[in-house]
Amino acid sequence: MDLPTVLSAALAALLLTASAVAAVALVRLRRVRGSAAASELSLRQELQRLQQGRAELERTSYTDALTGVWNYRYLQLALDREIARCARRPVQPEGADRLSVLLLEIEGFDEIRREHGHQRGGAVLRDLAQRLAMEVRETDVFGRYGGEEFLVLLPDTDAAGAEHVAERLRWTVRRHPLALPSVPVPADGPGAAPVNGLGAVVGTAVLPRDGAHAALLLRAADRALAAARAAAADASAPPPSGGSGSTTAPESTFEPMSESVSGAVQAPPDAPTSGPAEAADPGSDQDTCRTGDQSLPSTAVSQPVYRLLAQGCDLSVT
C-alpha cells in the first residue's frame, strides 16, 4: 500500500473520530442547556412564591385581623408619610389646611354583645368597617384605631371637606343594615330610612392648625372626640323637671357625597345645606347628629332593635 493511500485512511479515521467526539459534546451541551433552563425556571418560580409570601406577610402585618381594614401600625406609618409629604410640598396660601384626621367612635356595640355575644358582635363590626371603608376616596386611609374607634386620613382636605366626610360616615353608621338575625326597626315616616340602633361621634384635627406632628394631630383629634362625646351626653340628658319640653330638630336626610376632579369632597345636589333647620316632622324618625365641636339635639321616635328583641318580637330575616 502506497503512502498516499495510508495517509488518506488515517485522515478519514481522524475525521470520523473528531465527528463522533463533536456529536457527543453537542449532545452533552444540549443536556446542560436544558438542565440550566429548567433550573432557571425553577428558581424563577421559587422567587415568585417568595415574593408572594412576602407581600402576604406585609399585608397581614398591616391589616386588622378582626375587621380586615388597616391596623394601628399601618395608620401610624401612613400618618407619618402624609405629614412628610405635606412638608415637602408647601402650598399657598401659607398655613392652609393640607391634611385632615378624623377619629370616629361607634356607639351601641355593648347592646349587640349582650344580646348576641362577642362573636356575632365581631361580625357586625367587620361588616360595618368594610362599609365605612367604601365611603372614603382611594387616596384616603381608613383603619381601625382600637376597639370601636376608627381613624381616617384625608390628604389635601380642609376642615369643611373633613366635616362632609364625617357626616357621611355618621349617616352610614346609623343607616347600615346590621349582620344580625333581625331586621332594622321600620321607620315611622314614609320613605324614611330605618334606624339600626348604632350611633357615631367624630373628632376632627387638621394640619397645620392643630399641629405639624403625628402625636399633636392625634391628641387634637382625641380631644375633639371627647368634646363631641360630652356634647352628645348633654344632648341626650332628660330636660329639667317642670320644663315645657325640649325642642326637636328634624334629622338630616344626608346622602353619600361625590368627589370632585381635584379630590375635594362635594355634596350632591340633594344633600342638606348648613342653612337654618326646617320645622320638625312628627312622622319622620330622628336621632342625634354630632360633630367634633357641636351637637344637634333630636328625638329618636323609633325603638332600637334590641328593645323589640327583648319584647319577644319575631324579627328574623330571610
Name the residues annotated as catalytic: 148
The cell numbers describing 85, all together, are 409629604
Q: Are 116 and 109 in contact (CB under 8 A)?
A: no
Q: Which helix (H) or strand (E) holds 155?
A: strand 149-155
In DSSP notation, 164-212 reads: HHHHHHHHHHHHSPPSSSS-PBPPSSTTPPPB-S-EEEEEEEEETTT-S
Nearest by Cα to 282 from 251, 252, 257: 251
**Are the C-beta atoms of 227 and 221 separated by less than 8 Å?**
no
Upstream peptide bond of 240 is cis (omega within 30 degrees of 0)? no
Backbone angles phi, psi at 114, to 5 degrees: -70, -35
The cell for 102 is 378624623
Among 133, 136, 106, 132, which Cα is nearest to 121's? 106
Distances in whole angstroms, Cα of residue 84 to Cα of each of 10, 88, 93, 247: 83, 6, 19, 47
Measured CA to CA, the distance from residue 141 to residue 78 in angstroms comes to: 8
Do 254 and 272 touch, CB atoms closer than 8 A?
yes
> How big is the chain, counted in residues?
318
3: three-class secondary structure by DSSP: helix
